[in-house]
Amino acid sequence: MSNETIVQFRVERLSILDENGVVDESLMPSLPDAEILRMYECMVLARTFDQRAVALQREGRLGTYPPSIGQEAAQVGSAFALQPTDWVFPSFREMGVQLTLGYPIRQLFQYWAGDERGQHSPQELNIFPISVSVGTHIPHAVGAAMAARYRRDPVAVIAYFGDGATSKGDFHEGFNMAGLFRLPVVFICQNNQWAISVPLSGQTAAQTLAQKAVAYGFEGVQVDGNDVFAVYRATRDALEKARSGGGATFIECLTYRMADHTTSDDAGRYRSAGDVAAWSARDPLLRLERFMTGRGLWNEQYQTEIRERATAEVDAGIAAMEAEPLLEAAAMFDHTCAALSPRQVWQREGL
Amino acid sequence: MAQLTMVQAINQALGQEMARDDRVVLLGEDVGKDGGVFRVSEGLLERFGAERVIDTPLAESAIVGATIGMAAYGLRPVAEIQFMGFIYAAIDQIYSHAARLRTRSRGRFTCPLVVRTPYGGGIKAPELHEESSEAIFCHIPGIKVVVPSGPYTAKGLLLAAIRDPDPVIFLEPTRLYRMLREEVPDGEYTLPLGRARVVREGSDVTVVAWGSMLERVLKAVDGYGAEVINPLTLSPFDWETLLESVRKTGRLVIVHEAVKTGGFGAEIAATVAEEGIFYLRAPVLRVTAPDVVVPMSKLMDHFLPSVDQITSALYEVMRY
C-alpha cells in the first residue's frame, strides 16, 4: 500500500512591464520601436472609442454599452499576436481586440446602437459575432479549430471571455474537448475580477483561473493583464504552439474592470471606490507611457497627436454610423434563413 | 432498389454523402467505433477515418457548439445526440447560436449543420430516452425541423438536410428504426424540405401525422375516406398542402405523440382556424399524449396515441 503524490502542477505568472515602466529585459519580446508605437496607438484608440461610446450612450445615441477601460493591454496585446487569417471568437467586452484587428469603427458603433449590420465581419477578417450569452462561444472556437485542422489550414483560433465564463458548463465542455483533441486554439480570459456584482471570490474557490486548464490536459498561464508585453508574448507563444501542433493554451490575463459592468449598472452598489483607485495606479497605458518615455518614444506632444488622431478616427466612425440609412422593417427577415418560407414571405409583406 | 430498414437507409445516406462531399463529417457520442448506439453510423469510421467520424466526449452542448464552429468554418457537420432527452443540454447552442448566427452576422457566417437524434416512444428504454419535444424546436425561427416516417423518407430527407444551407434538427422515430422495411433507391435522391406528402387520398377527413404516428394512422383509417398528410418537415410547414386538403374534406384530425398543450398540433389547428375556418364542417380534433411527464415503458402504451383513439376521433368528426 502507498499514498504517494501522483500529480503535481504549478501555475506560472508572466510579468514583463511593471507599474513604473521598467521591463525585465530577459523576458521582453523583441519588438521594433514601430511596433511598440503601434501597440500604444491601438491602446489609445481603444480607450478613446470606449470613452466616446459611454458618452454617446448617455446622450441616447447608443444602447446599453459595456465599458472596457483598463483592459486595453489584455485586448491589444493579445490581438497584436494574431494573423489576419486567424479565427476570433469574442465576448462582448473586446472592442480593443476588434479595433486592433482593423474592424471598422463605424460597425462597432452600429452594433452597440442596436443594428446587427455591425456584426457583419469584413470578408478579410474571421471575427465571429460577439457572444452575449456568457461563455457559450467557447465550443464554437473548438469546432472551428477542429475544422481548421481537418482542412490542414495553417490558422489558429482564439476565444475571449471573462472570469464569469469560467463557471459555465460550455467553458468546461469546450476546454475538455480542446485538450482531448489537442486543438490549435488559444483561450484568453480577461479576468477583470467582476461578473457584474460578483467578485472573483464569489465565482470560484480556485486560487487561479489558469489552473483550470490543467484539469483538461493543457497549459494554463496567468499573465499580468495590464502589461501589454506580457500579454503579447504569452499569446504569441501560445499561437505558435497552436500552429505547430502543440495544442491548446489558456491565458488568464489578470486585470480589473475599472468601470461599471455596463452603462445600465452602478458598481457603487457592490464595491468600494478604494478598490478601483488601487487599480488606477496599475493603468496599462500609464505604465507603457513610462516605458516609452525611457526609450525616448513618448512625450506629451506625441501623446496629444495620437489622442487627436484617435479622436478623429472615432468621430469619423460615429459620423459614418449615423449617416447610414436606417434599416427598413422588412430587413429583419433578410438573414433569418437562406430562403424564406411562404409564411415568412407573407408576414414580411404584411409589415 | 433494396428493402432497407430506416437504420440502413440513414446509414446509406450518410455514407453516400460523405463519399460525395468531403465537407461532411460526423460527430457525437459513440458514433465511431461503436457505430452509434443504434448502429446508424456502423462502418463509417472504417470507411472515412477518425477525422471524419468523431467520437466526442460526453458533452451535448459542446457537441452542438463545436458543430456550429465547424459549420461556420465551411464544413457540413452532422451531429448525433444519442437520445432526444439529452438534447436539452444543447438547447442554448441551438436556440442562442445555431438558429441566429446567419441573422446576427447579417449573412457573413452560416450554420449548414444537421443535428440528428432518435425521437419518440415505444422502445422500452430508460427515462429521457423516449421524448418527443419537437414543438420546442418548431418555435425557433432560423432552424428547420424534419421528421421522416420510414426508410424511404429518412434517406431522401437526410440528404436534403445535409445539403441545406441552414441548421436542421432531424428527428428519427426510434420505434421505426427496425420495425419496417421499404424499397429504397440505391443512389442518391432528395426529398424537398418544407414539402408534405399525401400518403393516402380521401375526401371525407384529413388526418395529419408525423413520425411513428403515421403507421398507426394508416391502420386506423381503414374504412374511412381519409386523406392522410405526412408533413415530413414541421418547420417550415407546408400549409398549402394541408389547407388544400382541409378545403376538400372539411374535417381535420391531428395526431402526434407529444403532449397536447403547446404541441405542434396547436399550431396546425390555429392556422386552420385562421386560414381555413370556413372549410370546416366539424371541430378540429387532436389525438395526442396527455399532459404528463413521459412515462417509463410500463405505462408507455397508455401514453402514446393508440389506433383505437385515432379511430374514435375519426368517428367523432364524421358525425358532423
Find the CATH number of the domain harbouring A139: 3.40.50.970
Q: Nearest-CA neighbor of A118 among A132, A106, A134, A133? A: A106
Contact between chains at A176 and B59 (C-beta distance less than 8 A):
yes
Give the structural domain span for A190. Answer: 13-349
Nearest to A168 by CA among A203, A135, A198: A135
Partner B contacted by A174 (CB < 8 A): yes
Is residue A190 within a helix (H) or strand (E), and if so which, with residue range? Answer: strand A185-191
Cβ atoms of A314 and A46 closer than 8 Å: no
pLDDT band at A318 (very low <50, low <70, confident <90, very high): very high
Whether A5 is in a domain gets the answer no
- The residue behind cell 452575449 is A132
| Angstroms from B156 CA to nearest CA on chain A | 20
* Nine-digit cell string for A292: 516609452
Q: Which residues contact B278 (CB under 8 A, 6 or more apart)?
A: none
A107 secondary structure, DSSP code = H
Confidence of residue A25 (pLDDT cuts 50, 70, 90): very high
Rounded to the nearest angstrom, the minimum Cα separation between B86 and chain A is: 15
At A201, is the pLDDT very low, low, confident or very high (cuts 50, 70, 90)? very high
Q: How confident is the model at residue B193, as a pLDDT?
A: 98
The minimal CB distance from B70 to the residues A116, A136, A146 is found for A146
Contact B69 A144 (CB under 8 A): yes
CB contact under 8 A, B74 and A147: yes
What whole-number distance in Å separates Cα of residue A283 and Cα of residue A267? 19
Check if B282 contacts A (Cβ < 8 Å).
no
Rounded to an integer, what distance in angstroms lies between the CA atom of residue A32 and that of residue A80? 13
B137: Cα within 13 Å, side-chain hemisphere: 32
pLDDT in tens, B39-90: 999 999 999 999 999 999 999 999 999 999 999 999 999 999 999 999 999 9
DSSP string, chain B: -EEE-HHHHHHHHHHHHHHH-TTEEEEETT-STT--TTSTTTTHHHHH-TTTEEEPPS-HHHHHHHHHHHHHHT-EEEEE-SSGGGGGGGHHIIIIIITTHHHHTTTSS----EEEEEE-S-S---TTSS---HHHHHTSTT-EEE---SHHHHHHHHHHHHHSSS-EEEEEEGGGTTT--EEE-SS-----TT--EEEE--SSEEEEE-TTHHHHHHHHTTTS-EEEEE-SEEES--HHHHHHHHHHHS-EEEEEEEESTT-HHHHHHHHHHHHSGGG-SS--EEEEE-SSPPP-HHHHHHHSPPHHHHHHHHHHHHT-
pLDDT in tens, B171-212: 999 999 999 999 999 999 999 999 999 999 999 999 999 999
Q: Where are the domains of chain B?
A: 2-184, 197-318
What is the mean pLDDT of the segment spanning A239-246? 96
Query: Catalytic site residue A270?
Result: yes
C-alpha to C-alpha distances, A265 to A50, A114, A197, B226, B277, nearest whole angstrom: 16, 18, 9, 61, 51
Interchain proximity B74–A151, CB inside 8 Å: yes
What crossing angle do the helices spanning A138-150 and A169-180 adopt, rounded to 10°? 20
Question: Quick one: pLDDT band at residue A1, thresholds 50, 70, 90?
Answer: confident
Check A140 against B25: CB less than 8 A apart: no
Any A CB within 8 A of B96 CB: yes
Report the C-alpha gap between B212 and A258 in whole angstroms: 58
Hey, is the C-beta of A343 within 8 angstroms of any chain B C-beta? Answer: yes
CB contact under 8 Å between B62 and A173, yes or no, is: yes
Question: Three-class SS string for A9-33?
Answer: CCCCEECCECCCCCECCCCCCCCCH
Closest to B117 in 3D by CA, of B164, B169, B155: B169
**Cα dihedral A288, A289, A291, A295 in deg (nearest 10):** 130
Domain count along chain A: 1
Which of B69, B96, B239 has its CB closest to that of A133? B96
Interatomic CA distance for residues A332 and A340, integer angstroms? 12
CB atoms within 10 A of CB B141: 15
A143 and B142: CB-CB below 8 Å? no
Cα–Cα distance list, A113 to A22, A76, A326 (Å): 40, 23, 11
Q: Is A152 helix (H, G, I), strand (E, B) or coil?
A: coil
Catalytic member of A270, A295, A343, A348: A270
Is there a domain that residue A6 lies in? no
Rounded Cα distance between A295 and A314, Å, is: 28
Residue B245 in grid coordinates: 386538403
pLDDT averaged over chain A? 97
Q: How many CA atoms lie within 13 A of A150 on its CB side?
A: 27
Question: Can you name the CATH fold of B197-318?
Answer: Rossmann fold (3.40.50)
Estimate to the nearest angstrom the gap between the alpha carbon of A82 and the chain centroid. Answer: 12
Q: Which fold has domain B2-184?
A: Rossmann fold (3.40.50)
Q: pLDDT tens digits for A208-226? A: 999 999 999 999 999 999 9
The four Cα atoms B264, B270, B276, B278 give a dihedral, to 10 degrees, of 140
Which residues 34-63 of B are in CB contact (within 8 Å) with A?
51-52, 54, 56-57, 59, 61-62
pLDDT at A174 over 90: yes
Q: Is A335 a known active-site residue?
A: no
In a domain, A8, yes or no: no
- Position A78, amino acid: S
Chain B residues 191-250 within an 8 A CB cutoff of chain A: 194, 236-237, 239-240
Q: In this predicted structure, what is the pLDDT of residue A275?
A: 87
**Contact in structure between A259 and A267 (CB atoms under 8 Å):** yes
Q: Which residues of chain B have pLDDT under 70?
A: none
Q: Which residue of chain A comes nearest to B74, CA vs CA? A: A147
List CB contacts (< 8 A) between A338 and chain B.
102, 110, 164-166
**CB-based contact A143 B68, cutoff 8 Å:** yes
Inter-chain CB proximity B65 and A343 less than 8 Å: no
Measured between beta carbons, the chain A residues lying within 8 angstroms of B97 are 131, 133, 136-137, 140
Banded pLDDT at A86 (limits 50, 70, 90): very high
Per-residue pLDDT tens digits for A263-312 = 999 999 999 988 899 999 999 999 999 999 999 999 999 999 999 999 99
Which residue of B51, B69, B165 is in closest CB contact with A140? B69
Residue to mutate among A125, A137, A180, A337, with most B CBs inside 10 A, is A337
Specify the pLDDT at position B161: 98
**Of A254, A257, A255, residue with least CA distance to A198:** A257
The C-alpha atoms of residue B12 and residue B188 are separated, in whole angstroms, by 9
Q: CA A218 to CA B4: how far, in whole Å?
A: 46
Q: Is A271 a catalytic residue?
A: no
Closest CA to B311 of B201, B205, B217: B217
Q: Does B281 touch chain A (CB under 8 A)?
A: no
Listed residue (B201, B271, B265, B190) closest to B229, CA to CA? B201
